[in-house]
Structure 1
Amino acid sequence: MSELVLGISAFYHDSAAAVVSGGTPVAAAQEERFSRRRHDAAFPAQAVRHCLRAAGAELGDFTAVAYYEDSALKARRVLATYAGGAPWGLRAFQDSAPAWLTWKRDAPATVTRHLSALGAGRVPPVLVTRHHRSHAASAFYPSPYESAAVLCVDGVGEWDTTTLWHGRGERLTPLGGLSFPHSLGLLYSAFTYFCGFRVNSGEYKLMGLAPYGTPRYASLIRERLIDIKPDGSFRLDVRHFSFLRGRTMTGRSFEKLFGGPRRLPEGPLTEREFDLAASVQLVTEEVMLRLARTAAHRTGERRLCLAGGVALNCVANGRVAREGPFEEIWVQPAAGDAGGALGAALDTAHARGARRTHPAGGRDAMAGALLGPAYTDDEIQRFLERHGLPHTRLSPEAMAERVAAELAAGRIAGWFQGRMEYGPRALGARSILADARDPRTQSELNLRTKFRESFRPFAPAVLAEDAREYFELSQDSPYMLIVAPVAAGQRRPGGQEPATGLDLLRQTRSTIPAVTHVDHSARVQTVGRREHPAFHRLLTAFKRRTGCPVLVNTSFNVRGEPIVNTPQEAYTCFMRTRIDLLALGGFLLEKTEQPPWAEEDDWRAAIPLD
């Protein structure tokens, strides 16, 4: 049996667990999918149990547990930050210091206690990997490249905020980096907060908001907030930020710079927010492009691997892919802190002699990021029969044809197939699907199905073999982490009245308007037959019926809720929303045939807004 290593990330946000066998990812999941608490920071007990089941092992079968960061070093940074900001931030210090002086400071001992409480066997030694090394390992080791430059950019780990590495074979060599408080991730989070969105949750909303605005504040940001050097290194002017002194990201200095107080959460969006989003997005892209060029110069590599929370900025990734010096880029699908669990396990496995064999085949080792739980048709049938839910059992081919026909007729489908995705994106295992050709789809999904803000764009899933016909892509994008322009041949000529802000939503820009953002871009997922046979079969059937190989693919959840994990959660979401039909494994459920759905309380009030 190959050596097993369990990786864990916990106690900040997006806790997760992962198992590596002989250097290959076997299972991984975020705790939020089990606890149903978005971005859950608690010890990932349920995710660990999933990983043990998937590996067919107990804790005593593992050679090591790898924790994703050095908690003692992080505690010193946190406490030093509070001391440096005194007397401001005293209340925040009083609230958080007890944890950082005790159980958070000694995470290995805390992890050992939690693992022991699972009753799953003898707990192996808990080893520590530095935060950015975990990110770098998650980016390089499962990538399809024999060697590559590796760039990790996030808010902050222990002290690091940006690091450059050189990956070759089984080795990862650090080449340099930047330290707290100079952080591109924290800069972006400051604007996320100032625009009324939640930090560590709403950054992707800010990215989606940017195309509605113009970057009229970009020069001010460069002049007053961030000094960017030609090599991509930078320094923040921390006098304008509040994160060194307490719980908030910005204060009066930001208000003076940008013409008034921050937008309150759920408040109306104005041109200022559109333009602030556009401005910080542009500056972020500029920094990432300069860092990418430095990475190429320092390593001499033609391929780049990315991880860290900023690597989830798929607009910046798209620019790096199109305009940067690399022939190809690869982004870890769980690029944020959840991916640290996998990275720590991989780094430990390779330190103990694991070998990378998959690059010889030209494919990555992530199994399409389908590393979460799966439910057999027998398990699903027992669930359906136990609750008396009307259903039809179909063959895989018949399922694809039937769902394709319903989607072509303008209906919305829930798609629950195989193992759950690892990372923030739904990739065709836990997805809500719709026709990308229908201009009404975007508003229908946002307002009546997902119950979320109207400005937010949707992503296309496209057959990999047809992607270049619809999008200006120079490479595959299997994890929905590259934004690309819609191909010129799919765009529709203008002629509409000039519009700004949210009025831009009313304009049809392409043959696939539901996934074409207001700047003619799209966050693309290319779907291959090998990694996603059921989803590829459905897209093929839809193309055969309509001539179009593209569907809207959005996560199977509503706003504020984690992506569904179980058949029960999928059915509940199906019945609460405007989803018309549910493909649950080999079973098809029609909304009109289901028993009346009633809940005593308002379920939306019970789900915190993200």
Structure 2
Amino acid sequence: MSLNIIGISALYHDSACALLQDGMLTAAAQEERFTRIKHDPAVPAKAFLYCLEQAGLTITDIDCLAYYERPEKKLARQLWSGYGCGPEEFDGRLDPKRPEQQIREVLGFEGPIKFFDHHQSHAASTYYYSGFESAAVLTVDGVGEWATTTYGKGVGAKLDLFEEVHFPHSIGLLYSTITNYLGFEVNEGEYKVMGLAPYGKPVFSTKLRKLIRMEHDGQFQLELKYFDFLQGDKMYSQALVDLMGVPARVAESKMEQVHADMARSLQEVLQEILLEKARYLHDVTGMDNLCMAGGVALNCVANGNILKYGPFKKLFVQPASSDSGCALGAAALAHVDITGRRPQNEPMQHVYLGPSFTQSEITTMLEATSFNAHHFAGDTEGLLTEVATLLSKGKVIGWFQGRMEFGPRSLGTRSILADPRDADMRDRINAMVKKREGFRPFAPAVLAERVRDHFDLDHPSPFMLETCQVKSALDLPAITHVDGSARVQTVSQETNERFAKLLQYFNAITGCPILLNTSFNVRGEPIVCTPEDALRCFVTTDIDCLVLGDSIVNRSENSLELMAWMINFQQKSSGIVHDVYTFI
């Protein structure tokens, strides 16, 4: 009999569920993809059912459920922070028994539950899936129970975190504070700050360095007078406004150069901090490999900086580095706890771990609508030739294929694709399709065997987790950021055959083995999960063509007014608060 372990992250933000079978990761998904509530923090009931169905299991087949943090330790920090001090403020969210009660009541699971520290789950989510036999481990986020940054090492099955920095001193909260200052949503807009940074100059770096005091070993402290996340309804205090000498930006207001300068300065300070602490970790462990996780590890610019200028020879970053990835880590920790062996020894090759849909299901859905569609069942060559031709003619394609990606990036199964050579494409997709800020960059997907021809990158980058300079002889304005960089995804036939073949077909037509690849969603919504989600997103945007499996729906051939019922759906709000970091 196989050992089946479910890992869960929940009741904070970005809840998720993952399934390990005999140490192999076979399914994982975020709850938001099913409920359509972005960052849904609820116990992942739908993701749990998906994992069971994907593996053909029943709930009684699950040997153990692993939860990604320790509720009692988290409660101590919440109470210290001032939450629930009065009876009018207390609610069930502060009950340390709540996670187990919810698991029992919502999921109906009656078996054993193992609880692990939040940052231990982060660390396990990167080390045990890295393929490294030994590695230094660095986790950095806003806050777990008490830890905000941890330092550790893994050797074989053993994973040891030997030092941590405690709340309220947090690199993640420092970055989120300036995110809030710049008028972006906390827990959501941090990557916007990263995208804005190349437009600015680091003129505020000296001032921002005053916000944090570097100490011995891996330690640091925030200058708390500049922060208000403990008691206020925003992250920053008046003292920070006085220090910066610039009013905080009002959300959705005009973006000024000073805001870009502040973003650039923050990015520079972040990179300095992480590089210094990475060097410390290397000095202590003497290891050549580094594994990273936690929300801050999604800062792909900083990751590239650590690899380029730091002491480590190899870097692995968990593709789902935020709390959703803790489901993977918790499951891995439970596996080690039960068997004494580490889970999968092979490096994580892909994150195509979510639901897929048969062509029969897709065709049935399309036939139930008034859409005209071209069906290429059994004719992959004809489908890819048509899609590549449409892309070469400047069409924006909604690309829905195979199993959904796990984590924050679309990597070629739930993607919006376009020609990277089109100078107008970035503005068009930002304004008319994604409906987001115009400064936001797009990423290139490139055939793995051709990456060195076009980018300053000498190793695979399948998860879009580091940036590098564009060096292509081709003009690629749609995916080249203002500083000449790009966040590259390398695509191999071994992990995503159909997407790799599409790149090959596009290259055959255009001489360009690269496509613009962005997530298949609009601003404020999760990435699409089902064919119905994809069709709805297609109708409500200016995507030219929708490719669902072996079927193509062309906007020009359909009267979308007939589908007005799909346009008038009620968009669900985010599942978390964005004015201040979500502590509860």
TM-score with structure 1 setting the length: 0.90
Residue 550 of structure 1 corresponds to which residue in structure 2? 514
Residue 413 of structure 1 corresponds to which residue in structure 2? 397
Residue 251 of structure 1 deviates from its aligned partner by: 2.3
For residue 379 of structure 1, the aligned residue among 346, 361, 376 is 361
The change in CA–CA distance for 1:266 and 1:295 in structure 2 (over 3 A counts) is: same
Residue 250 of structure 1 corresponds to which residue in structure 2? 236
Decide whether the 8 Å contact of 2:23 with 2:343 is kept in 1: no
Give identity over the alignment, percent: 45
Residue 65 of structure 1 deviates from its aligned partner by: 0.6
- State the AA in 1 paired with 2:380: P
Which sections of structure 2, spanning at least 5 residues, go unmatched? 579-584
Residue 462 of structure 2 corresponds to which residue in structure 1? 478
- State the AA in 1 paired with 2:63: T
Residues 424-479 of structure 1 deviation map (CA, whole Å, 9 limit, x = unaligned): 00000000000001111100000011111111000111111111111111321100
Structure 1 residue 50 and structure 2 residue 50: aligned? yes
Residue 400 of structure 1 corresponds to which residue in structure 2? 384
Q: Partners of 1:253 and 1:603 in 2: how far apart?
A: 45
Residue 177 of structure 1 corresponds to which residue in structure 2? 164
Q: Partners of 1:427 and 1:332 in 2: how far apart?
A: 14
The change in CA–CA distance for 1:101 and 1:328 in structure 2 (over 3 A counts) is: closer
For residue 389 of structure 1, the aligned residue among 363, 371, 379 is 371
Q: Partners of 2:573 and 2:251 in 1: how far apart?
A: 12
Residue 497 of structure 2 corresponds to which residue in structure 1? 533
Residues 22-58 of structure 1 deviation map (CA, whole Å, 9 limit, x = unaligned): 1111111111101111111111111111111112111
Residue 398 of structure 1 deviates from its aligned partner by: 2.0
- State the AA in 2 paired with 1:353: T
> What SS does structure 2 have at the residue aligned with 1:571?
helix
Residue 347 of structure 2 corresponds to which residue in structure 1? 364
Residue 230 of structure 1 deviates from its aligned partner by: 7.2
Residue 599 of structure 1 corresponds to which residue in structure 2? 564
Q: Which moved more, 1:449-458 or 1:269-278?
A: 269-278
Residue 98 of structure 1 corresponds to which residue in structure 2? 91
1:446-485 equivalences under 5 Å are 446-485=430-469
Residues 492-547 of structure 1 deviation map (CA, whole Å, 9 limit, x = unaligned): xxxxxxxxxxxxxxxxxx71110110011111111111111111010111111111
Decide whether the 8 Å contact of 2:5 with 2:334 is kept in 1: yes
The change in CA–CA distance for 1:602 and 1:96 in structure 2 (over 3 A counts) is: farther
Residue 601 of structure 1 deviates from its aligned partner by: 9.4
| RMSD of Structure 2 on Structure 1 (CA) | 1.9
Decide whether the 8 Å contact of 1:415 with 1:431 is kept in 2: yes
Residues 134-155 of structure 1 deviation map (CA, whole Å, 9 limit, x = unaligned): 0011001111211111111000
TM-score with structure 2 setting the length: 0.94
> What SS does structure 2 have at the residue aligned with 1:424?
coil
> What SS does structure 1 have at the residue aligned with 2:515?
strand
> What SS does structure 2 have at the residue aligned with 1:17?
strand
Structure 1 residue 293 and structure 2 residue 276: aligned? no
Structure 1 residue 130 and structure 2 residue 117: aligned? yes
- State the AA in 1 paired with 2:357: Y
For residue 115 of structure 1, the aligned residue among 99, 107, 115 is 107
Which sections of structure 1, spanning at least 5 residues, go unmatched? 84-88, 117-121, 491-509
Decide whether the 8 Å contact of 1:164 with 1:175 is kept in 2: yes
Residue 582 of structure 2 corresponds to which residue in structure 1? none
The change in CA–CA distance for 1:464 and 1:354 in structure 2 (over 3 A counts) is: farther
The number of residues matched between the two structures is: 572
Structure 1 residue 70 and structure 2 residue 70: aligned? yes
Decide whether the 8 Å contact of 2:92 with 2:98 is kept in 1: no
Residue 501 of structure 1 corresponds to which residue in structure 2? none
The change in CA–CA distance for 1:264 and 1:94 in structure 2 (over 3 A counts) is: farther
Structure 1 residue 59 and structure 2 residue 59: aligned? yes
Residues 169-210 of structure 1 deviation map (CA, whole Å, 9 limit, x = unaligned): 111111212111110000000001010011101100011011
Q: Partners of 1:341 and 1:601 in 2: how far apart?
A: 33
Decide whether the 8 Å contact of 2:24 with 2:343 is kept in 1: no
Residues 83-119 of structure 1 deviation map (CA, whole Å, 9 limit, x = unaligned): 7xxxxx97xx7675323443x5542233222211xxx
Decide whether the 8 Å contact of 1:427 with 1:525 is kept in 2: yes
> What SS does structure 2 have at the residue aligned with 1:51?
helix
Q: Partners of 2:358 and 2:565 in 1: how far apart?
A: 31
Residue 269 of structure 1 deviates from its aligned partner by: 1.1
For residue 197 of structure 2, the aligned residue among 191, 196, 210 is 210
Decide whether the 8 Å contact of 2:7 with 2:330 is kept in 1: yes
- State the AA in 2 paired with 1:23: G
Q: Choose between structure 1 and 2 for higher RCO, CA contacts under 8 A separated by at least 6 residues.
A: 2
The change in CA–CA distance for 1:542 and 1:232 in structure 2 (over 3 A counts) is: farther
Q: Partners of 2:569 and 2:359 in 1: how far apart?
A: 30
The change in CA–CA distance for 1:212 and 1:534 in structure 2 (over 3 A counts) is: same
Residue 225 of structure 1 corresponds to which residue in structure 2? 211
